[in-house]
């Protein structure tokens, strides 16, 4: 690493630490203050609240890092311009694009670190924080969460479950439609309950109707070779938080649910969002580089950076919501905001280069 790169990275890390620390402290304070009454009413011990806060820190940092990179990069370039350091670099025959290249490469590495953070410690911490909030504060047990009127397909089995408890892998009111090799309905099974272990769904108190002979049989128990794990349906529950599911696990669930005939637009969008959020780190750095020189005051840069960060977040939420609801393809919904902002940044950088003649 060159001396110039070390100086630029060291300064950026210092500014990023300040900006991210202030933003992280403010976000955590607001969240804890907002939920303080719920913790106190539930009688949760103070140390559990502290554990909740620690578990939330990596997730919140992942949410705030792109905006913090934008503000820190813009402030650094504004300070360098104000101190005439960029002029000195030009006088020393060092093109400004070398500083920008250092910042963008460094931001790309930060984006990689952001992805590892959010999909590792961030996911685990968010899952633990959600468990504390739902079980210890709200008194909601995941094992008691029920889904109603669930449909799935596994091979030649089309299954309807009136009431399914995915975490416990049990259900009530089961109807199974067995298809033949030509995908024609051959048999109907009606059961009062099911113990849905992956690979072997055991039906209880079963009535079997043979359509070819119009005969009926009754069985106390009957096993079906259904491979789908009912716990997969926890990820498609609208109340489920997909931030607590790592990208590799989410990808596996998407494949399983797609084979069962379940719509996975929401899950595919969330899977793409995990990559798009990390990619937004270098995108935000590119925005700061693109507008360098347009705003001279470091104080104005901070205000401008906050406005742009909130605007980007709004676009990201709007496009991703459209993808989750099927209004846009999942990949487009997740990546559209970052692509639009990157194009704007490139345009502004091009205009600035033409204006300054380099």
Q: What is the pLDDT of residue 293?
A: 66
Measured CA angle at 324 (ends 112, 320), to 5 deg: 50
Q: What is the pLDDT of residue 95?
A: 65
Measured CA angle at 291 (ends 288, 297), to 5 deg: 90
Residues 6+ apart with CB under 8 A from 341: 280, 283, 284, 287, 312, 315
- What is the pTM for the complete model shown? 0.77
Q: What is the pLDDT of residue 332?
A: 93
Q: What is the pLDDT of residue 320?
A: 92
* Helix, strand, coil percentages for the chain (3-state, nearest 5): 65, 20, 20
Measured CA angle at 43 (ends 38, 45), to 5 deg: 105
- Give the strand pairing for 170-179 and 157-165: antiparallel
Beta-ladder partners of 166: none
d(CA 194, CA 171): 5
> Which tokens sit at 192?
């009062």
Across the chain, where does the E strand assignment appear? 147-154, 157-165, 170-179, 185-197, 200-210, 215-224
Q: What is the pLDDT of residue 225?
A: 86
Q: Mean pLDDT, 10 residues at a time, over the chain (358 residues)?
A: 82 92 92 88 86 92 93 88 72 70 91 93 88 80 72 82 86 89 86 88 90 85 84 63 79 74 79 93 90 74 88 92 89 92 82 64
């Amino acid at each position: 690493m060159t001396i110039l790169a070390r100086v630029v990275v060291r300064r950026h890390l210092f500014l990023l630490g300040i900006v991210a620390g202030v933003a992280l402290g403010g976000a955590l304070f607001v969240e804890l203050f907002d939920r303080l009454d719920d913790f106190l009413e539930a009688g949760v011990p103070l140390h559990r609240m502290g554990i909740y806060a620690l578990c939330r820190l990596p997730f919140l940092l992942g949410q705030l890092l792109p905006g913090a990179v934008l503000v820190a990069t813009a402030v650094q370039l504004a300070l360098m311009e104000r101190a005439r350091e960029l002029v000195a670099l030009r006088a020393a025959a060092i093109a400004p694009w070398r500083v920008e290249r250092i910042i963008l490469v460094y931001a790309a590495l930060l984006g990689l670190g952001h992805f590892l953070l959010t999909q590792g410690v961030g996911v685990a911490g968010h899952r633990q924080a959600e468990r504390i909030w739902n079980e210890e504060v709200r008194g909601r047990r995941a094992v008691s969460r029920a889904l109603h009127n669930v449909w799935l397909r596994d091979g030649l089995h089309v299954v309807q479950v009136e009431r399914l408890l995915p975490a416990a892998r049990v259900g009530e009111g089961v109807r199974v439609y067995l298809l033949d090799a030509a995908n024609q309905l051959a048999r109907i099974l009606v059961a009062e309950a099911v113990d849905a272990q992956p690979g072997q769904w055991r039906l209880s108190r079963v009535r079997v109707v043979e359509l070819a002979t119009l005969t009926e049989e009754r069985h106390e128990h009957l096993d079906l070779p259904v491979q789908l794990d009912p716990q997969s349906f926890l990820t498609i529950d609208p109340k489920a938080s997909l931030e607590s599911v790592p990208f590799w696990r989410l990808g596996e669930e998407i494949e399983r649910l797609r084979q069962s005939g379940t719509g996975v637009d929401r899950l595919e969008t969330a899977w793409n969002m995990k990559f798009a959020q990390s990619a937004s780190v270098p995108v935000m750095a590119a925005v700061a580089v693109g507008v360098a020189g347009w705003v001279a005051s470091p104080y104005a840069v901070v205000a401008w950076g906050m406005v742009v960060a909130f605007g980007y977040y709004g676009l990201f939420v709007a496009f991703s919501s459209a993808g989750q609801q099927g209004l846009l393809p999942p990949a487009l919904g997740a990546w559209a905001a970052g692509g639009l902002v990157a194009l704007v940044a490139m345009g502004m950088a091009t205009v600035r280069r033409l204006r300054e003649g380099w």
